[in-house]
Amino acid sequence: MAVPEKKAAAPAKAAGHILQRASMAMVVLVAGIGAAWAFTPGHVRDWLAARYLSDTPEQYQAFMDKHSDSKYYEPAAYRKAELEDTPAAYRDYLYEFTDAKFRAAATDALTRLEQKALGDLEQNPTLPGLRTFLVDFPETGNLDRVLQTVQKNEALRKVYLPVILQQMEECRRLEPLTQLVDSLKMTGLPVPALTPAPPTVKKPEGAPPVAETPAPATPEPQPTAPAPQGPAVSAPAVPAPAPAGNVQPPKMATVKGGIFQMGSADGVKDEQPIHQVTLQDFQIGAYEVTFAEYDKFCASTGRTPPADEGWGRGHLPVIHVSWLDAVAYCNWLSTQVGLKPAYTIAPNGAITLDRQSKAYRLPTEAEWEFAAKGGASQQAYVFSGSDELDEVAWHSGNSRNSTHPAGHKKPNDLGVYDLTGNVREWCHDGYGRYAAANTENPLGAGITDSRVIRGGMWGRNPLQQRNTYRNFAKPDYKDYGTGFRVARWR
C-alpha cells in the first residue's frame, strides 16, 4: 500500500508548486501594477478615475478645477457637457475652446436640443417657454419659426410678440422693426399693431431710452448735500437741454462735488500715490454710449459705423471707437442739443477742452473714479456699487465673451450703470503717474501721447475691474472692448 500512496502524492505536490508559482506571479504583477500606478502622473490617475470609475459631471468638474493644464482637461470638459446634456453646458464648452476637438459633436447636440425645444414651444407657446428658448439659443436661426408659432395663436399674439422683440434685443438679435414686420407678412398671417407696446410687457429696468421723439421736459432737480453717513444724493434722470433735432439727449446722473482720496495702496504702481482730489459738481452719463446713439452720429456726419463683432447693435455699448471718435461724438451731441461744443479741434489736429463749457465731453479720470466710488459718499466697494462683481458687471466670468445691453446690471448708488465691466471707457485725461500733491479738478498729464481708459471690460478678470484700476492707449486706438460715456460740468 505504501507505493501507491507515494505515487498519489506526486501530482499533489506538483500542483502545489504550480499554485505557489502562480501566487508569486500574481504578487509580482500586483506589485508591478502598484509601482506603475505610483509613478503615473497625478493628472492621469485622476483622469482614469473620473472616466472609468465615477463618470459624473461633478467628478469631471473636480478634475478640471485641479488640473487646468492637463491634456485631459478638454476631454473632461466635453464629457461633462455630454453628461449634463443642456444648451448651457455645450455652449460653455464651445466658448472655452475656440479650436474645440469636439466642436462638431457639440454643435450637433445643440441642434438636437434646439429642435426639441422648438417642438415643445410649438406645442405649448408660453411666456416661460419663450424666455427659456431665447436664453438657451441666443443665436438661433429659427426666429421666424418662433414668430410664426406665436402668430398662429390669436389669443397670445398680442402678448407674446412684444416679448419676442424684447428678448431679441436682450439676446443680441434685434433687427429693424420694418424687417420684422416684413418677415411676419411673408407668413401670410395677420400682423398686429406693434406700437404702442401692450402694458403687460415691461422693458428691462434701466434700459436706455430708444424713442426718437424726446420726452417732455421736466424741471431739473437741484442737488442737495448728502446725509453725513448715507449715500450721496443724486438725480439719475436729469434732463439735458431740449434737443434741436431728432436726437434723444442721454440720461445723466448728477454728482455733487467733494473731496476724495484718489488711487489705491494695493501695490499697483500707477494707482499710487493716494492723493487728495477736489471736484466741482458734474453730470455723468447713466449709461455707456450705445450703438443706437452712435450710429445716428455716423449717419449724420457720413462716418462709417464701427464694427460690432457680430454681437448686434441697438442697446449694446458701442465698441471699436477711438478717443478721437469719442471727442467728435461729444461735439456733435452738443450741437444737436443747441450747445457750443466743449472741444476745439485745431487745423493741425490739436484738441483743447474749454473748462468753462457746460457742453458734453468725456469724464475726467478723477470724475470717473469719484463716480465709480459713489460720489461724495465714497462707498468702500471694490467695484462700482458692490463687492460682488456679478451684481454690477459683465466680466470674464459671466459675459460669455461678448458685450451685453447697457443698464442690465445693478447700478451704483448714483444710479450709474456699467462703470464696472461691459466695456472699458475712454476718459479725457492724458495718461501719466499721479502727483502726490492735492489737486482740484485735474485733467491728467499735460504732455502725453496716451489717454486714460477706465472700468474693465467683458473679457477681464476681477483685478482689472476694480474702481482704481487704470489703463491707457493711443488716442486713435480701437478694439472690441473699449467704448465711452459722456459727462458735463454743472
pLDDT at 301 over 90: yes
Sequence-separated (6 or more) residues with CB below 8 Å from residue 410: 385, 386, 391, 392
Residue 194 — very low, low, confident or very high, per pLDDT cuts 50/70/90? very low
Which pLDDT belongs to residue 291? 96
- Count other Cβ atoms within 10 Å, centred on residue 181: 12
pTM higher than the cut 0.75: no
Class of residue 158 by CB neighbours under 10 A (exposed 0-12, middle 13-18, buried 19+): middle
The winner for highest mean pLDDT among 95-99, 180-184, 325-329 is: 325-329
Nearest CA-CA partner of 298 in 321, 316, 275: 321
Lowest mean pLDDT among 30-39, 220-229, 306-315, 437-446: 220-229
Which pLDDT belongs to residue 440? 94
Which pLDDT belongs to residue 448? 72
Average pLDDT of the residues in 173-181: 41
Strand partners, 383: 386
Cis geometry, peptide bond prior to residue 196 (ω within 30 degrees of 0): yes
Which pLDDT belongs to residue 275? 94
Cis geometry, peptide bond prior to residue 273 (ω within 30 degrees of 0): yes
Class of residue 270 by CB neighbours under 10 A (exposed 0-12, middle 13-18, buried 19+): middle
Instruction: Give the span between the Cα atoms of 220 and 429, in whole angstroms.
Output: 29
Lowest mean pLDDT among 80-89, 145-154, 218-227, 306-315: 218-227
Which pLDDT belongs to residue 156? 61
Which pLDDT belongs to residue 66? 87
Which pLDDT belongs to residue 463? 82
Query: What share of the chain in percent tops pLDDT 70?
Result: 70
Average pLDDT of the residues in 131-155: 72
Which pLDDT belongs to residue 354? 95
Phi, psi of 20 (to 5 degrees): -65, -45
Which pLDDT belongs to residue 238? 36
Lowest mean pLDDT among 245-249, 294-298, 310-314, 435-439: 245-249
Instruction: Give the span between the Cα atoms of 40 and 32, in whole angstroms.
Output: 12
pLDDT at 44 over 50: yes
Beta strands in 176-287 (DSSP E): 252-255, 258-262, 275-279, 282-285
The winner for highest mean pLDDT among 282-286, 309-313, 398-402 is: 282-286
Residue 391 — very low, low, confident or very high, per pLDDT cuts 50/70/90? very high
Nearest CA-CA partner of 126 in 153, 107, 98, 102: 153
Average pLDDT of the residues in 322-339: 96
With contact defined as beta carbons under 8 Å apart, do 395 and 421 qualify? yes
Top pLDDT among 445 and 243 is at 445
pLDDT at 429 over 80: yes
With contact defined as beta carbons under 8 Å apart, do 239 and 357 qualify? no
Residue 280 — very low, low, confident or very high, per pLDDT cuts 50/70/90? very high
Lookup result for grid cell 417657454: 129
Which pLDDT belongs to residue 461? 79
Residue 210 — very low, low, confident or very high, per pLDDT cuts 50/70/90? very low
Residue 146 — very low, low, confident or very high, per pLDDT cuts 50/70/90? confident
Which pLDDT belongs to residue 419? 97
Q: Grid coordinates standing for 416?
A: 450709474
Instruction: Give the span between the Cα atoms of 321 and 473, in whole angstroms.
Output: 12
Which pLDDT belongs to residue 319? 95
Nearest CA-CA partner of 462 in 378, 399, 405: 399
Lowest mean pLDDT among 23-32, 78-87, 471-480: 23-32
Top pLDDT among 3 and 114 is at 114
pLDDT at 303 over 90: yes
- List alpha helices for 283-359, DSSP H: 291-301, 323-336
The winner for highest mean pLDDT among 44-53, 383-392, 393-402 is: 383-392
Residue 334 — very low, low, confident or very high, per pLDDT cuts 50/70/90? very high
Average pLDDT of the residues in 265-291: 91
Mean pLDDT of the chain: 78
With contact defined as beta carbons under 8 Å apart, do 262 and 368 qualify? no
Q: How many residues are listed for the chain in this entry?
A: 490
Which pLDDT belongs to residue 8? 53
Residue 21 — very low, low, confident or very high, per pLDDT cuts 50/70/90? low
Domains (range + CATH), the chain: 104-186 (no CATH), 252-489 (3.90.1580.10)
61 CB-side CA count, 13 A: 9
Instruction: Give the span between the Cα atoms of 370 and 374, in whole angstroms.
Output: 7
Which pLDDT belongs to residue 184? 44
pLDDT at 385 over 90: yes
Phi, psi of 487 (to 5 degrees): -150, 170
Which pLDDT belongs to residue 178? 44
Which pLDDT belongs to residue 209? 38
Tens digit of each residue's pLDDT (9 = 90 or more) over 434-481: 988 899 999 987 667 889 999 988 987 788 899 999 988 889 888 888
Tens digit of each residue's pLDDT (9 = 90 or more) over 48-73: 888 888 899 999 989 988 888 888 89
